[in-house]
Amino acid sequence: MNCPHHCAIFKNSPRSYRDLPLRIAEFGTVYRYEQSGELHGLTRVRSFTQDDAHIFCRQDQVKQEFIRVMEIIEIIFKALDFKNFEAQISLRDPNNQTKYVGSDEVWEKAEQAIIEACREKNLPAKIEYGEAAFYGPKLDFMVKDAIGRRWQLGTIQVDYNLPERFELEYVGEDNLKHRPVMIHRAPFGSMERFVAVLIEHTAGKFPLWLTPEQVIILPISEKSNEYAYKVQQMLEAQNVRVLVDDRNEKLGRKIRDNELKRIPYMLVVGEKEAEQGVVAVRQQGAEDKGLMTVQEFADFVNQTVDKQMNAY
What is the mean pLDDT, run by run of 10 residues, along the chain of 312 residues?
88 94 91 82 83 91 91 88 84 80 81 86 85 84 81 86 92 93 90 89 88 94 92 94 93 91 93 92 84 93 88 66
CA distance 138 to 116: 13
Examine the residue annotation and report whether 7 is marked as an active-site residue of this protein. no
Q: Give the pLDDT confidence score for residue 169 in this predicted structure.
A: 95
Please identify which of the residues 54, 109, 185, 254 carries the catalytic annotation.
54
Q: Is 140 a catalytic residue?
A: no
What whole-number distance in Å separates Cα of residue 91 and Cα of residue 113?
Answer: 12
From the candidates 109, 184, 201, 254, give the one annotated as an active-site residue.
184
**What confidence score (pLDDT) does residue 238 get?**
92
Active-site residue 178, yes or no? no
| Close Cβ partners of 295 (under 8 Å, ≥ 6 residues apart) | 234, 238
Distance CA 264, CA 276 (A): 24
Q: What residue spans in the chain does CATH classification 3.30.930.10 cover?
A: 3-202
Instruction: Choose, from 51, 52, 140, 159, the residue flagged as catalytic.
Output: 52
Query: What is the architecture of the domain spanning 215-310?
Result: 3-Layer(aba) Sandwich (3.40)
Which overall architecture, per CATH, does domain 3-202 show?
A: 2-Layer Sandwich (3.30)
Q: Please identify which of the residues 6, 7, 15, 50 carries the catalytic annotation.
A: 50
**Does residue 52 carry a catalytic annotation?**
yes
Q: Residue 85: CB partners within 8 Å, gap ≥ 6?
A: 77, 141, 142, 143, 144, 153
| Whole-prediction pTM | 0.79
32 included as an active-site residue: yes
Q: From the candidates 32, 126, 256, 307, give the one annotated as an active-site residue.
A: 32
> Is residue 256 among the annotated active site residues?
no
> Which pLDDT score, from 0 to 100, does residue 16 have?
95
From 138, 178, 193, 282, the catalytic residue: 138
Give the contacts of 80 (CB within 8 A, at least 6 positions apart): 198, 201, 207, 210
Asked about 54 being catalytic, the answer comes back as yes
**169, 183, 184: which is closest to 17 by C-alpha?**
169
Q: Give me the amino acid identity at 189.
A: G
CA distance 37 to 163: 36
- Answer yes or no: are the C-beta atoms of 268 and 228 closer than 8 Å: no
As a whole number of angstroms, the distance between CA 205 and CA 271 comes to 31
Q: Is residue 178 a contact partner of residue 170, using CB atoms and an 8 Å limit?
A: yes
Please state, as a whole number, how many other Cβ atoms lie within 10 Å of the Cβ of residue 186: 23
Residues spanned by CATH 3.40.50.800 within the chain? 215-310
Instruction: Look at residues 34, 26, 32 and name the one whose alpha carbon lies nearest to residue 2.
Output: 26
